[in-house]
């Protein structure tokens, strides 16, 4: 047995232990038919990523589950990897090139992609190394990348299959367009933020009826250039007579119809809604129902493309000019301040422009149905359950998915256009011959695929699909997905319908949702607020174990949590407690003879109590982890180690350890070692580093705690009677300590403790616990008797279940000194009472002082009066 360092220093052990784990291949999983597999796929962090608190929480939860299952004997695979992060990476590389004076277009596509791969080689593994610092026990030998050869092959396979099935098509629909990045973006990349804006109320003249207008209200007056109708509700009596009539579209020479559609809310605004099908998702659907023209009024850079006075203006510049012109023409009714949600690109913070564009889409109606059925049948579960409703709501209202991006970095769309006849050929490789004209000249589509397209295949593409690999057969479907509630729509749902479509199986059976890590004020951590906390900074200062424990303490699935530095300090203090207790136990074990001879007959009441406690704890923690109640499980382990084991049991056995004559010393040491090992195992998934260091120094049979067996409940260690007995002792000790605390008696002052009870079993409990009860209760002597005979009348008492504890007053307090102290207190209180009575009997004070001041003084008088009564009662008792 090696000796632990005197002081716990995480910096001195964590990197060393992680290297040991990597070298030992302890994280590695292989196909092993003799074991049941357990698989988690890591949500792939972006290669542009820097470890943040969300990553730290997400990966800590996954690591807890994978370490737990590994110790339970499962062939546990935590599949890691990174995402190519199309837009984010492209932006980073463009910025880098600009600093070098190089433009993206100058390099050309192939040259630019070479720069992207160089960037990935240089920076792409940064976040992986940071996950190492956290203690993540993923199988890094299997690390994948969304653009590696295997994943890329899977992407091409799925695209071609879905296209041939009619689920992928090219068409014009409303998409999110970023005018700065010049690409379509997914809903996942749009952040909606509350912004202060305006409602511009505008009059649209009724054609042929001079002086008659309809009034519309819009937050984007510049889009009226693309209006192709004004809609009213078919049941709105106010406008029934103008449905079908034409309106003069302000600032243009066009006329547009008034249509009736149930989309319009009669109670909102004026009840008249301008319809701009090419620049609003809801208007687009209305336009389809009424066969309206779709007029795109903006170029890709958000400048106006409509010929006329606003041509070439930026959208916001055009807005100002158009509002001024409407006002001049008498068509601007009013401008009303209005706060509303505005979509912005999460990367560049530009306001996103909804725009009709020709893009590639996935037809979602049929693909969504199996994903709905998977949830309704119970094969797919959410923790907490309420997130299932969110999942279902999104799927039942799903729209076709825009999957093309106007980027160079990413999976290029495998569509080839014949340069001779225009035929489109979708194929994993460039075709030799055009099926339409027999030509041989092809040009590949310039667009790349949405990053989510490849990450939707992650659970099975990482295991070798579309090849029928052993890994895929053994480890798929995976078991649990751990992810934040903020991407349930974008990633979770896409993995489910992709897994069902391509493999016929749900990619996982359970989705565990976690919340956000917020700052101490409850705000979301962000660069703009400057309130982000770097997990690596926390690790450097307090260690990875302290960070992990902080993230899991009080954590409930789906709930946000607040980050407090005080919590990290508490976690570090707990680690110190575990370290110091372990060091104490190991130092005593070193002095002991062989512990292998200890049998159950040699175990004392206290030994059986703590064994029974750790036995029950093993069962409870296992149940909590199986239900993904990670925070509850950790709290139970924490409470046991800190309170039951360190504060109670270790203190109980100290008299035995310090006595050479005690023949139960070996039993105490055997119990200490055994319980410590079990406690370390239960704590290991949460705090892997400190538990590994202590475990490997405490015993020599196993080389790592992570491959040791998980503690299991043993029926023979259910010592219910012993548990009840020790709880009685603890109740008595607490009662004694409360009495002593109330009388300011120092622990060094010993006193005789009488235990009076008519119950033989209670007296028997105290007899068997006499040595440690005396130590814990600061007793010079423990006397057990059936009645109160021989006990001083002034003895202090405390009632517990079936017994009364008595302590002679004179042994607790030096009577003469206590009388002296109480008389000094009596003198002080007399002064306070005189002052307080004097103020309250003074008419000037009572008539002029604020009511709050008078109430404060009356409260003081009441307090001092009560204190004086107590002092006089104590004095009378002592003098007597």
User: Which tens digit of pLDDT belongs to each residue from 408-443?
Assistant: 999 999 999 999 999 999 999 999 999 999 999 999
Alpha-carbon distance of 498 to 492, in angstroms, equals 10
**Burial environment of residue 770 by CB neighbours within 10 A (0 to 12, 13 to 18, 19 or more):** middle
Mean pLDDT of 170-181: 90
Closest CA to 61 of 401, 664, 459, 552: 552
Give the number of other Cβ atoms within 10 Å of residue 850's Cβ: 8
- Mean pLDDT (the chain) is 92
Known binding residue 170? Answer is no
Cα separation of 172 and 170, whole Å? Answer: 7
Q: Quick one: pLDDT at residue 312?
A: 95
Place of tokens 């600032």: 251
Model confidence pLDDT, tens digit, residues 678-734: 999 999 999 999 999 999 999 989 999 999 999 999 998 899 999 999 999 999 999
Torsion of CA 112, 115, 116, 117, to 10 degrees: 130
Query: Contact, 221 vs 323, CB < 8 A?
Result: yes
Encode pLDDT of 143-166 as tens digits: 999 999 999 999 999 999 999 999
For 542-561, how does the pLDDT look when each residue is reduced to its tens digit (9 = 90+)?
A: 999 999 999 999 888 878 88
Tracing tokens 């040259």 back to the chain, one arrives at 111
Q: Is the model's pLDDT at 880 over the cut of 70?
A: no
- In angstroms, rounded to a whole number, what is the distance separating the alpha carbons of residues 69 and 37? 9
Q: How many residues does the chain have?
A: 880
What residues pair up with 145 in beta bridges, in sequence order? Answer: 82
Residue 175, phi-psi category: left (phi > 0), alpha (psi -120 to 50), beta (remainder): beta
Q: What is the percentage of the chain residues whose pLDDT exceeds 70?
A: 99
pLDDT at 876: 84
Is pLDDT above 70 for 303?
Answer: yes
The span from the CA of 563 to the CA of 561, in Å, is 7
pLDDT attached to residue 435: 93
Q: pTM of the entire structure?
A: 0.87
Decide: 732 and 779 in contact? Cβ < 8 Å: no
506 contacts 500 by C-beta, under 8 angstroms: yes
Picking from 438, 434, 433, 412, the residue whose alpha carbon sits closest to that of residue 423 is 434
Q: What is the pLDDT of residue 528?
A: 66
Tell me the three state secondary structure of residue 333.
strand
Q: Answer whether residue 2 shows pLDDT above 70.
A: yes
Domains in the chain (CATH in brackets) are 33-156+459-542 (3.40.50.620), 161-179+355-456 (3.40.50.620), 193-340 (3.90.740.10), 564-702 (1.10.730.10), 723-807 (3.30.2320), 816-879 (1.10.287)
Alpha-carbon distance of 134 to 551, in angstroms, equals: 12
Give the residue-averaged pLDDT of 176-187: 86
């Amino acid at each position: 047995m090696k000796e632990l360092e005197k002081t716990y220093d995480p910096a001195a052990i964590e990197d060393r232990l992680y290297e040991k784990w990597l070298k030992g291949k302890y994280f590695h999983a292989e196909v092993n038919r003799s074991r049941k597999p357990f698989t988690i796929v890591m949500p792939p962090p972006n290669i542009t990523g820097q470890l943040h608190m969300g990553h730290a929480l997400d990966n800590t939860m996954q690591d807890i589950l994978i370490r737990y299952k590994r110790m339970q004997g499962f062939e546990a695979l935590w599949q890691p990897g990174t995402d190519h992060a199309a837009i984010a990476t492209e932006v980073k590389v463009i910025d880098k090139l600009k600093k070098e004076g190089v433009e993206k277009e100058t390099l050309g596509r192939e040259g630019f992609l070479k720069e992207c791969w160089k960037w990935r080689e240089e920076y792409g593994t940064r976040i992986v190394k940071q996950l190492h610092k956290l203690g993540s026990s993923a199988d890094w030998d299997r690390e994948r990348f969304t653009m590696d050869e295997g994943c890329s092959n899977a992407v091409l396979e799925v695209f071609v299959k879905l296209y041939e099935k009619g689920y992928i098509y090219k068409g014009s629909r409303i998409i999110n367009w970023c005018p700065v990045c010049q690409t379509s973006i997914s809903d996942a990349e749009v952040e909606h933020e509350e912004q202060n804006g305006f409602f511009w109320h505008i009059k649209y003249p009724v054609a042929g009826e001079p002086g008659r207008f309809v009034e519309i209200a819009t937050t984007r007056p510049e889009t009226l250039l693309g209006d192709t109708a004004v809609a009213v509700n078919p049941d709105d009596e106010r406008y029934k007579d103008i449905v079908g009539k034409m309106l003069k579209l302000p600032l243009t020479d066009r006329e547009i119809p008034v249509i009736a559609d149930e989309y319009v809310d009669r109670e909102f605004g004026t009840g008249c809604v301008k319809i701009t099908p090419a620049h609003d998702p809801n208007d687009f659907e209305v336009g389809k129902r009424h066969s309206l023209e779709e007029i795109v009024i903006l170029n890709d850079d958000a400048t106006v493309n409509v010929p006329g006075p606003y041509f070439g203006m930026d959208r916001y510049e055009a807005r100002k000019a158009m509002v001024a012109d409407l006002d001049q023409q008498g068509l601007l009714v009013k401008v009303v301040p209005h706060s509303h949600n505005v979509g912005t690109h999460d990367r560049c913070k530009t306001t996103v422009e909804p725009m009709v564009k020709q893009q590639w889409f996935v037809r979602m109606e049929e693909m969504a149905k199996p994903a709905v059925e998977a949830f309704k049948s119970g094969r797919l579960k959410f923790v907490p359950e309420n997130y299932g409703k969110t999942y279902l709501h999104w799927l039942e209202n799903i729209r076709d998915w825009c999957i093309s991006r106007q980027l160079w970095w990413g999976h290029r769309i495998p569509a080839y256009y014949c340069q001779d006849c225009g035929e489109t050929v979708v194929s994993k490789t460039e075709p030799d011959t055009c099926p339409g004209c027999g030509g041989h000249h092809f040009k590949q589509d310039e667009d790349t695929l949405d990053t989510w397209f490849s990450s939707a295949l992650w659970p099975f593409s990482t295991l070798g699909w579309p090849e029928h690999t052993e890994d895929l057969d053994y480890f798929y479907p995976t078991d649990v997905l751990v992810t934040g509630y903020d991407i349930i729509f974008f990633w979770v749902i896409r993995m489910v319908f992709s897994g069902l479509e391509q493999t016929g199986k749900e990619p996982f059976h359970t989705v565990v949702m976690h919340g956000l890590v917020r700052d101490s004020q409850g705000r979301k951590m962000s660069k703009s607020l400057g309130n982000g906390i770097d997990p690596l900074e926390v690790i450097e200062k307090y260690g990875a174990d302290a960070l992990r424990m902080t993230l899991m303490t009080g954590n409930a699935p789906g709930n946000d949590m607040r980050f407090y530095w005080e919590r990290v300090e508490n976690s570090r203090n707990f680690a110190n407690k575990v370290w110091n207790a372990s060091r104490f136990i190991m130092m005593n074990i070193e002095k002991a003879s062989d512990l292998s001879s200890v049998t159950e007959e040699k175990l004392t009441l206290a030994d059986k109590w703590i064994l029974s406690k750790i036995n029950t704890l093993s069962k409870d923690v296992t149940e909590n982890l199986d239900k993904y109640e990670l925070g509850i499980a950790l709290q139970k382990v924490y409470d046991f180690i800190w309170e039951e084991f360190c504060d109670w049991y270790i203190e109980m056995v100290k008299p035995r350890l310090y006595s050479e004559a005690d023949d139960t010393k070996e039993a105490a040491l055997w119990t200490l070692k055994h319980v410590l090992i079990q406690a370390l195992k239960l704590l290991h998934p949460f705090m892997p580093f400190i538990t590994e260091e202590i475990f490997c120094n405490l015993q020599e049979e196993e080389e790592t705690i992570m491959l040791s067996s998980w503690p299991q409940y043993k029926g023979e260690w259910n010592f219910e009677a012993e548990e009840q007995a020790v709880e009685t002792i603890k109740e008595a000790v607490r009662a004694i300590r409360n009495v002593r605390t109330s009388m300011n008696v120092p622990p060094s002052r010993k006193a005789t403790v009488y235990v009076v009870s008519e119950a033989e079993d209670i007296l028997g409990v105290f007899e068997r616990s006499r040595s440690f009860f005396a130590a814990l209760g600061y007793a010079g002597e423990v006397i057990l008797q059936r009645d109160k005979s021989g006990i001083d009348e002034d003895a202090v008492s405390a009632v517990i279940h079936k017994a009364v504890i008595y302590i002679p007053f004179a042994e607790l307090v030096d009577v003469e000194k206590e009388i002296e102290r109480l008389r000094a207190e009596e003198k002080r209180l007399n002064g306070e009472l005189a002052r307080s009575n004097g103020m309250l009997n003074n008419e000037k004070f009572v008539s002029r002082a604020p009511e709050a001041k008078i109430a404060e003084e009356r409260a003081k008088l009441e307090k001092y009066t009560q204190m004086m009564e107590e002092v006089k009662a104590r004095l009378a008792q002592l003098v007597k």
